[in-house]
Amino acid sequence: MDRTRLLRLERQAKARAEARAVMDGVAETVALERKRGAAIAQPPGRATRAKPYQRQTGLEWLGRKGRLSAEEVAAGERYGAAYRRARQDPAIPSTLEARPQGGQPAGQSLKALLSQAHGTAQARDLLAAYRRSLLMQAEMVSACDLVCGEEMTPREAAGGDREGARLEAVLRVALSILARG
């Protein structure tokens, strides 16, 4: 009976030490990501059970800090959705036959493949329209691509505080233009 109790206590101690090591590793990772400019949401409250950290996109972070209006955040989300969809290049198979290998499905059907390609083409057209509304200004397009499309924070995208502040200012102008259009 005493031996069973000692084994149970030993397992509990090992589990606590492992949990502590994992929490230390998470804290170190979060600290490093914050130093690189990533926005990490602090878990609400510290109850007895550890809550997960959540990495924020650049738009979420700027919106929560009050640096962007709700309309600008919505415009940035629309731009980002079009950007990410336009970057999806579906793999076109070498045959247009939907079931090339003895009737077995080889992946997507022809209808699904064409639908995906059509959606991607529409997203490219929409992204081109957004960029035209920004007058194809390279800095504004780049700021939107990095923060809205790639979901980086301005500091993370620019590589430092000073350049991050400049990128944020350019982004605010671009998103106000997109929000009005």
pLDDT of residue 91: 56
* Interatomic CA distance for residues 159 and 33, integer angstroms: 12
Whether residue 163 lies inside any domain: the answer is yes
pLDDT tens for the 181 residues of the chain, in order:
688 888 888 899 999 989 888 888 888 888 888 888 888 887 666 554 566 778 889 999 999 999 999 999 999 999 999 999 999 865 555 555 555 554 545 566 778 878 888 899 999 999 999 999 999 999 999 999 999 999 999 999 998 889 999 999 999 999 999 999 8
Report CA 139 to chain centroid distance, whole Å: 21
Do 119 and 82 form a contact (C-beta atoms < 8 A)?
Answer: no
Whether residue 113 lies inside any domain: the answer is yes
Whether residue 127 lies inside any domain: the answer is yes
Residue 23 makes CB contacts below 8 A (sequence gap 6+) with: 50
pLDDT of residue 50: 63
pLDDT of residue 5: 85
3-state secondary structure of 102: coil
Residue 35 to residues 40, 155, 162, 168, Cα–Cα distance (Å): 11, 10, 14, 18
* Interatomic CA distance for residues 103 and 55, integer angstroms: 44
Whether residue 112 lies inside any domain: the answer is yes
Whether residue 130 lies inside any domain: the answer is yes
Where would I find the H helices in 1-101?
2-35, 58-64, 70-86
Residue 129 to residues 94, 134, 156, Cα–Cα distance (Å): 32, 9, 27
Whether residue 116 lies inside any domain: the answer is yes
DSSP 39: E
Domain count, the chain: 1
3-state secondary structure of 142: helix
Whether residue 84 lies inside any domain: the answer is yes
pLDDT of residue 93: 55
Whether residue 123 lies inside any domain: the answer is yes
Residue 66 to residues 45, 71, 173, 176, Cα–Cα distance (Å): 22, 12, 15, 14
* Interatomic CA distance for residues 57 and 38, integer angstroms: 8
Domain containing 170 equals 57-90+107-180
pLDDT of residue 130: 97
pLDDT of residue 127: 97
